[in-house]
Chain A
């Protein structure tokens, strides 16, 4: 893989990560912090209604040693509430403050019960003259069923691939949440820890 290709792979991995809850309740806000070996970011989004959110993500790029922002818009396309499950489909998008020709858009979906979770995320990223396709899939199981207010735990496996590297990467993820706070930790042998912290208010 040439140096340019490597840089592009890094670029698209920096841009896109899956958000556990991309839209909040009506008038709800969410603050997220994301950290891995490539970037640190803080992402705030506000949901005027439960159907869409507007947000700003500040990114500190560890590879290129610079910072920029992403203006983001997420729309709930469909939600199906069943007695014991919920299914969601979202449209996600973002435009970079650094370069208006750089943007991404895609679909994110999930289905979950109190015990099981399955989700996917596909994105198309445009950067300058190049297009990239990024996809990830995640499945999980709750080892126990907690009550409202308890500490909840999910054990998950995530696999992802992008069209530039053309390689699948699969790694375990643990998701913990209690009250308004969620912490997600993923460990990939090649890229070390992925940490995702979320607070909803």
Chain B
């Protein structure tokens, strides 16, 4: 039984080391008047978004599509990590739509690769991003 278990563990490591998570999408930048006018954002909860940006005039909001974010308890790290950054004013997680909303100061540079790494360090996969100027 011990040998069998070790074999399974070894094979799992080998097989899964070749599997890659889907991360290779390109972010897009958009402008909007705090409304969802872009077709690509149709999967966003508009009420939630409007509530999120209600006090963010002059800010930029990154709407990040995330895979694997199925559980509140698991997404906590995303919120905690982004909240530590000075250039980020607010963070929201929409579990239902699989979106993370990040409100940046207007002067901030939004780097999708950096965001992707941060989300990866929490164990989820960021696949796309839209930037909306409020």
Contacts and interface: CB of A to CB of B under 8 A. Distances in A.
A173 interface: no
A113 B70 contact: yes
Contacts, number: 111
A82 B76 CA distance: 18
A149 to B, nearest CB: 7
Contacts of A179: 76
A77 B18 CA distance: 11
Contact of B1 (A23, A24, A133): A133
Contacts of B87: none
Interface in A125-180: 126, 131, 133, 145-150, 152, 163, 177-180
A131 B101 CA distance: 50
A32 B72 CA distance: 18
Interface stretch (B5-13, B55-63, B104-112): B5-13
B67 A83 contact: yes
Nearest to B81: A25
A25 B118 CA distance: 10
A112 B71 contact: yes
Interface of B: 1-2, 5, 8-9, 12-13, 16, 19, 21-22, 67-81, 92-96, 98, 120-125
14 contacts: A21-B73, A26-B77, A76-B123, A78-B12, A78-B16, A80-B19, A81-B68, A82-B68, A85-B70, A86-B124, A126-B2, A148-B93, A179-B76, A200-B76
Interface of A: 20-21, 23-26, 28, 49-50, 76-86, 89, 91, 105-107, 112-114, 122, 124, 126, 131, 133, 145-150, 152, 163, 177-180, 182, 200
